[in-house]
Amino acid sequence: MAYKLGLDAKIFHGAAGSKATSEMSNVTDVTLNLETGEADITTRAADGWRITAATLKEASVEFEMIWDTADSGFTAIQQAYFNNSALSLFVSDGDGNGLDADFVVTSFSRSEPLEEALKVSVTCKPTLVSRAPAWVSGGGH
């Protein structure tokens, strides 16, 4: 059975409008959320069953970073948040499979635990700069 470990996955950042090429190594616990909206298309032909059609896809990326203002990935995320600007992210499984899109940072929350390093929890959602989000299969980083 083939399996992947989370530590083998990668996340890259770059300028909005182009593919992300700079790996962010200061990232922990990444979650790529993929969902699809739904429409009720039930008719009497369904024999008493509710029938659903998939509609628009939704995505978000959630991760944590150590608070490190000297780290280029941290700085890119921080500037995107405070400037309300987009940046490119590629969330890869390490074999080049993943979501490639321009994102906006919708959450940038710092935690200050007494016996841990300062961290920032980040949420990013796709936006349209010059390219639509795309799922890449084995052709990326």
User: For the whole model, what pTM was predicted?
Assistant: 0.89
Q: What is the pLDDT of residue 1?
A: 55
DSSP annotation string for the chain: -----GGG-EEEEEETTS---EE--SEEEEEEEEEEEEEE---GGGTT---EEEEEEEEEEEEEEE--TT-HHHHHHHHHHHTT-EEEEEEE-SSS-EEEEEEEEEEEEEE--TTS--EEEEEEEEE-SSS--EEE-S---
pLDDT score at 141 = 61
User: Is residue 107 in a domain?
Assistant: yes
Q: Between 139 and 131, where is the model more confident?
A: 131
- In this predicted structure, the answer to whether residue 83 has a pLDDT above a threshold of 80 is yes
Q: What is the pLDDT of residues 27-66, one digit of tens each?
A: 999 999 999 999 999 999 999 999 999 999 999 999 999 9
Task: Identify the CATH number of the domain in which residue 84 sits.
Answer: 2.40.10
Q: Is residue 16 situated within a structural domain? A: yes
Residue 18 within any structural domain of the chain: yes
Q: What percent of the chain stands above pLDDT 70?
A: 97
* pLDDT for the residue numbered 138: 79
Number of domains in the chain: 1
Average pLDDT, the chain: 94
The residue range of the domain holding 94 is 6-31+57-136
Domain for residue 45, yes or no? Answer: no
- The CA distance from 17 to 103, in Å, is 10
